[in-house]
Amino acid sequence: MGYGSVDDGHFGALLGAVANKNHKLYLSGSKEEGRNYKIRNNQKQPNSKYDREAFTAGYGYQRDGHEFGINYSNNNTGHTGTPGNPMDIIYVRGGLYDANYKWDLGDGYKLKTNIFYQKMRHWMDNYTIRTGGTGLAMRTKVEAGGIDLAFALPLFDGELTIGVDGDQANHKADIFMGGQTVTPTINYFNGVERNRYSLFTEWNGEISDDLALELGARYVHTWMNAGEVSGGSSVDRNAFNALERTKNYNDVDLAAVLRYSASSQLDIEVGLARKNRAPTYQELYLWTPSAAAGGLADANIYLGDLGLKHETAYQFDLGFDWHNDKAFIAPRFFYHYVDNYIQGERTAIAKAQAKTNVLQFSNIQAQLFGVDIEAGYTIDDNWRLDAGLNYVRGMRVNSPTGDNDLYRIAPLNGRTQLTYEQSGWMGSVEGVFYANQGDVIGYGDSTANVDELKTKGYMLLNLRGQYVPYQGVTIGTGIENVLDSKHFNHLGGYNNFNRANGRVAMPGRNLYATLSYNW
């Protein structure tokens, strides 16, 4: 259980299980609730309250190389604000059923399978939680299921896995206006189906005492379709309904990772891959300008494009892991070239719309490169220092406007933490920093309010403590954002989905306490 001062929030969770040699049964439940969080000087962020509940139950059986499990998870989200969206969550309800089976045939031969079924219902509006609403509401439904099957066997000095998997999902989304909740005004998505089927193989093994190799290949067929829509602009609706909406994508993913132990203190890893991504149903089937853009929440309006191609990324990764008894450092460098990268663009269709901040999902050429670094140093038996750094640069290739920045890329960021531990006590001082993000996309149209806004850098100081008075009991406490800094996440949205209101601020100073007992 725990409490946080920044939003007067509290949470509690309980997990109980009983098992013997062959059977296992478990139940768990959790509850989280909080008010609008404070930004600074008791200023609060509107529409940031939350109310969430979850419940899980499961049964497992094992015997003579066989293992079987069946699980159920239920989610019930109540009134929960989303300040960067045009609407808030009134409820999310539904459950996930899954079952798995593992069979150890002996001599390294194994069979694994998993199936799942999910059904969710979601309602949002802009008048129940927030003030000044216009009676706008949205209802979405999703029903999905899938199966995975994999067979593993020993091959050479490693393990070969061969498998198939597939999943099917159905989506529907309706907009209601004027506060009514019966007859949809606009049918955004109707009978949208997205089905994926794939075959894969993977081999992991050792080539020599100091050299290991991982190889993988996967073929994926993605099939999508959408039914006819209703309501809204008759021009947009009729144009969409007249188009061929069935889409097929055939993708081949390839990956190879080579790991070399250069010495007892240095490991080197080189990775090459070709990865694909088919468009989402929002990127394809948004038939009229809409804020329902798959969670972007960036105060822009989007249009889909039925002519989208799948993304193909060519990836190169190089990693080092140096370590001894007291210290380690693990930098990883990466470069990805993405053919047909999908992002919102100003197009002739978008410019013709009545709203000036309309973007259309489009294919471009892009490259991303950067570095991730993790490091640590044990000063003595009680003191330890840890640090991390992340940098990624996203650039468009051959931009027609001369602006080669990709959209919504996180700035340079890092953290460092000094920790002291002794006799059940732990205390730490953590520093987090984010640099300015000035490499932002511009769309070359001064009349449209669509250019990405820059963000300032910031630094945070966090203090954390923990005490274990006796085995099984842990007491935690701390202060996050000690200096009560007002700061903005570059990947965050804008208040009430309006760029003129500025970005949604992150939480201010938070004093928290937690208590856990494990028996």
Query: Is the separation of the CB atoms in 140 and 85 below 8 Å?
Result: no
Residue range 189-224, pLDDT digits in tens: 999 999 999 999 999 999 999 999 999 999 999 999
Q: What is the mean pLDDT of residues 55-80?
A: 98
- pLDDT(355) > 60: no
How high is the pLDDT of residue 286?
A: 95
- pLDDT(10) > 90: yes
How high is the pLDDT of residue 447?
A: 67
- pLDDT(433) > 60: yes
Closest CA to 468 of 416, 422, 507, 425: 425
Residue predicted with more confidence, 264 or 180: 264
d(CA 92, CA 80): 10
Per-chain mean pLDDT for the chain: 95
Residue predicted with more confidence, 292 or 96: 96
Q: Which of 179-183, 302-306, 363-367 has the lowest mean pLDDT?
A: 179-183
Angle at 354 between CA 348 and CA 358, to 5 degrees: 55
Is the pTM higher than 0.75?
yes
Handedness of CA 348, 350, 354, 356 (dihedral sign): negative
- pLDDT(354) > 60: no
- pLDDT(21) > 70: yes
How high is the pLDDT of residue 352?
A: 66
Residue 346: band (very low, low, confident or very high) from pLDDT cuts 50, 70, 90: confident
Residue 222's CB is within 10 A of a number of other CB atoms, namely 19
Residues 6+ apart with CB under 8 A from 219: 198, 199, 200, 250, 251, 252, 253
The beta-strand segments (E) located in 177-240 are 186-208, 211-225
Amino acid identity of 399? Answer: S
Q: What is the mean pLDDT of residues 331-351?
A: 90
Residue predicted with more confidence, 150 or 181: 150
Residue range 225-259, pLDDT digits in tens: 999 999 999 999 999 999 999 999 999 999 999 99
The pair of three-digit structure tokens given for residue 87, joined into one six-digit string: 């609407």
Q: What is the mean pLDDT of residues 264-273?
A: 98
For residue 302, how many C-alpha atoms fall within 13 Å in the half-sphere facing its CB? 24
pLDDT over 70 percentage in the chain:
98
By CB atoms closer than 10 A (0-12, 13-18, 19+), residue 302 is buried
3 state SS of 51: strand
Beta bridge partners of 391: 371
Q: Which of 101-115, 174-188, 237-251 has the lowest mean pLDDT?
A: 174-188
Handedness of CA 234, 238, 240, 241 (dihedral sign): positive
